[in-house]
């Protein structure tokens, strides 16, 4: 290997290390701050419009790719120059690399996204790798120049160091790409936040919960909202890439981008979601404001053909749910293709960018997350959980739960407050009753009603002597039907039975 080739390699390898390190650093924060992306962004911002038009005309939709490739070629050429400048001394080339890093920092600082940390990391790693490689290739005893290629020991040391720098760069670049696919979703979410329609969220009346007595807050925060899905890794979809295909037994197929969905009439609704796997007394139930486009509008827009029975929705990871069309087409059902949850874009875990929510149906037949298509079809087609033995139809069953006192806890004898939740989505709760130690059912106090699609909080004040007790509760829906006391497990269509809590008064 001639000294020239080695010098050029030092320049190229240190540039690669600088870019890979910057890429990884950017992926930890905002991928848009990766130095070539930031510099490219600055170039796009600064380019006169005739140049942009020219680039688009020549490269079409690959114009950004062409820009990145062009920049990488320029960087590679300058890196070779840097290496060649350092055939005798290490610092002239290092200075070129440093100048490059400073240009990256200036470009990053000028960007609206503004993070300069990745460019700083590039500068430090670039100069560091340059020095490391240069001194690794230097022969023993020589202070200021590269050794002749005949120096075998220095050559081996140089080759090993080069290999390590190259491997490290590869790992950093690959890791950065994997990470930015993740945080690409974060960037997409923050971009979406600004574009969501400004809908007023339904007002939650004062007194809608008895949180002070031990019930949950009426609205569940996105962080606390229960999460159930089959996804081992949260699917990472960007709103920019998202499309929804509505097809099957329709008159006109729809193929919508995220912006096209946003352009339609949207509404905001408070909905209590429940999982069919929620056991009696379980916590797979939460309430949030969801905003999105009514599913009914889109179905009517597509036009449903005679004989169609269900909408088979599919997520990007292949999961499916089948929802009866007669439910989705009810004028006041309020089923949504939701893009917003509690005023924010959907969190990735809850289906970003778009999911379905249907008041009154268990999640597994209605609440497809990471939604990518809906097929209007007959019931001949089985959905994911139906294939695994769960019911095709799954309206949420009227249920109630005791949150206070906690099971097997001790509370002071005398006045004891029992509190909890009750739900009968899309029918509503008329009353809740409690019974202590198998005594008569007595009415609980209900919190302010919010809607028939949401849970209702309740509490009851009891006067209890010291000793062991057991309290049970039951909900009565707005048609006057009490929840069944018959015990059933969650399979195939949801658990039933009364929640009972043993506790001790002391």
Ligand X SMILES: Nc1nc2c(c(=O)[nH]1)N[C@H]1C(S)=C(S)[C@@H](COP(=O)(O)O)O[C@H]1N2
Give the residue, chosen from 90, 364, 384, 458, that forms a contact with Mo ion under the rule CB under 5 A. Answer: 364
Give whichever of 315 and 400 is closer to ligand X, judged by the CB atom: 315
Total residues belonging to the chain: 506
Q: What is the number of helices (H) and of strands (E) in the chain?
A: 10, 19
Residues numbered 166 to 225 that lie near ligand X (CB under 6 A) are 225
Task: Establish if 100 lies at the interface with Mo ion (CB under 5 A).
Answer: no
CB of 227 to ligand X, least distance (A): 4
Size of the site for ligand X (CB under 6 A): 18
Task: Establish if 364 lies at the interface with ligand X (CB under 6 A).
Answer: yes
Residues numbered 240 to 279 that lie near ligand X (CB under 6 A) are 273, 275
| CA pair distance 143, 384, nearest whole angstrom | 70
Give whichever of 273 and 298 is closer to ligand X, judged by the CB atom: 273
Give whichever of 361 and 429 is closer to ligand X, judged by the CB atom: 361
Candidate ranges 162-170, 248-256, 361-369, 425-433; the one touching ligand X (CB under 6 A): 361-369
| CA pair distance 499, 137, nearest whole angstrom | 75
For residues 17 to 56, the per-residue mask of contacts with Mo ion, x marking binding by CB under 5 A and - elsewhere, is ----------------------------------------
Give whichever of 22 and 363 is closer to ligand X, judged by the CB atom: 363
Task: Establish if 132 lies at the interface with Mo ion (CB under 5 A).
Answer: no
Task: Establish if 392 lies at the interface with ligand X (CB under 6 A).
Answer: no
Say if residues 198 and 291 touch (Cβ distance below 8 Å).
no
User: Which among 284, 269, 371 is positioned nearest to 320, based on CA atoms?
Assistant: 371
CB neighbours (10 Å) of residue 106? 14
User: Which among 112, 318, 346, 113 is positioned nearest to 238, based on CA atoms?
Assistant: 346
Give the residue, chosen from 209, 229, 433, 477, that forms a contact with ligand X under the rule CB under 6 A. Answer: 229
DSSP E strands, 211-297: 243-248, 254-257, 267-274, 285-294
Give whichever of 79 and 346 is closer to ligand X, judged by the CB atom: 346
Which residue's Cβ has the minimum distance to ligand X? 363
367 binds, among ligand X, Mo ion, none (CB under 5 to 8 A by kind): ligand X
Give whichever of 111 and 201 is closer to ligand X, judged by the CB atom: 201
**Residue 412 corresponds to which tokens in the numbers above?**
């002071």
CB of 275 to ligand X, least distance (A): 3
For residues 318 to 357, the per-residue mask of contacts with ligand X, x marking binding by CB under 6 A and - elsewhere, is -x------------------------------x-------
Q: Is 297 helix (H, G, I), strand (E, B) or coil?
A: helix
DSSP E strands, 37-162: none
435-442: long-range contacts, CB 8 A cutoff, minimum separation 24: 435/471, 435/472, 435/473, 435/474, 436/462, 436/464, 436/469, 436/470, 436/471, 437/469, 437/470, 438/470, 441/474
Task: Establish if 363 lies at the interface with Mo ion (CB under 5 A).
Answer: yes
CB neighbours (10 Å) of residue 138? 19
| CA pair distance 341, 379, nearest whole angstrom | 30
Binding site for ligand X (CB under 6 A): 225-231, 273, 275, 315, 319, 350, 363-364, 367-370
């Amino acid at each position: 290997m001639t000294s020239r080739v080695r010098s050029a390699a030092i320049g190229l390898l240190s540039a690669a290390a600088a870019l890979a390190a910057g890429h990884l650093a950017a992926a930890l924060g905002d991928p848009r701050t990766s130095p070539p992306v930031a510099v490219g962004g600055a170039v796009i911002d600064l380019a006169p419009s005739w140049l942009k038009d020219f680039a688009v005309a020549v490269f079409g939709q690959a114009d950004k790719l062409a820009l990145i490739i062009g920049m990488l070629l320029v960087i590679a050429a300058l890196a070779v120059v840097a290496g060649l400048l350092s055939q005798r001394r290490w610092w002239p080339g290092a200075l070129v690399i440093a100048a490059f890093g400073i240009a990256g920092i200036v470009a990053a600082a000028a960007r609206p996204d503004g993070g300069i940390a990745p460019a700083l990391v590039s500068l430090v790693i670039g100069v560091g790798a340059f020095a490391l490689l240069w001194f690794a290739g230097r022969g023993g005893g020589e202070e200021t120049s590269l050794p002749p290629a005949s120096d075998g020991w220095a050559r081996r040391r140089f080759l090993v160091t080069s290999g390590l720098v190259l491997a490290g760069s590869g790992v950093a670049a690959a890791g950065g790409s994997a990470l930015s696919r993740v945080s690409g979703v974060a960037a997409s979410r923050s971009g979406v936040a600004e574009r969501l329609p400004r809908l007023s969220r339904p007002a939650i009346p004062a007194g809608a919960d008895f949180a002070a007595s031990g019930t949950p807050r009426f609205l569940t925060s996105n962080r606390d909202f229960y999460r159930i899905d089959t996804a081992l890794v949260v699917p990472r979809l960007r709103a920019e890439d998202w499309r929804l295909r509505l097809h099957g037994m329709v008159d006109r197929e729809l193929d919508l981008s995220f912006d096209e969905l946003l352009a339609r009439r949207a509404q905001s609704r408070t909905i209590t979601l429940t999982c069919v796997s929620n056991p009696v007394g379980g916590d797979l139930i939460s309430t949030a404001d969801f905003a999105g486009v009514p599913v009914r509008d889109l179905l009517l827009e597509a036009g449903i053909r005679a004989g169609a029975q269900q909408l088979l929705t599919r997520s990007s990871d292949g999961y499916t749910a089948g929802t009866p069309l007669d439910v989705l087409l009810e004028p006041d059902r309020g089923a949504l293709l939701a893009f917003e949850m509690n005023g924010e874009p959907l969190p990735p875990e809850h289906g970003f960018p778009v999911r379905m929510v249907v008041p009154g149906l268990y999640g597994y037949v209605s609440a497809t997350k990471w939604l990518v298509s809906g097929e209007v079809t007959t019931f001949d087609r089985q959905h994911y959980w139906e294939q695994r033995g769960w019911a095709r139809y799954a309206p949420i069953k009227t249920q109630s739960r005791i949150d206070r006192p906690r099971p097997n806890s001790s509370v002071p004898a005398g006045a004891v407050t029992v509190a909890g939740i009750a739900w009968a989505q899309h029918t509503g709760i008329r009353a809740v009753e409690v019974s202590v130690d198998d005594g008569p059912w007595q009415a609980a106090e209900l919190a302010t009603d919010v809607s028939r699609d949401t849970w209702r909080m309740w509490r009851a004040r009891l006067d209890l002597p010291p000793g062991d007790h057991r309290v049970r509760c039951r909900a009565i829906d707005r048609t006057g039907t009490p929840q069944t006391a018959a015990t059933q497990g969650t399979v195939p269509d949801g658990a039933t039975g009364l929640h009972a809590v043993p506790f001790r008064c002391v």
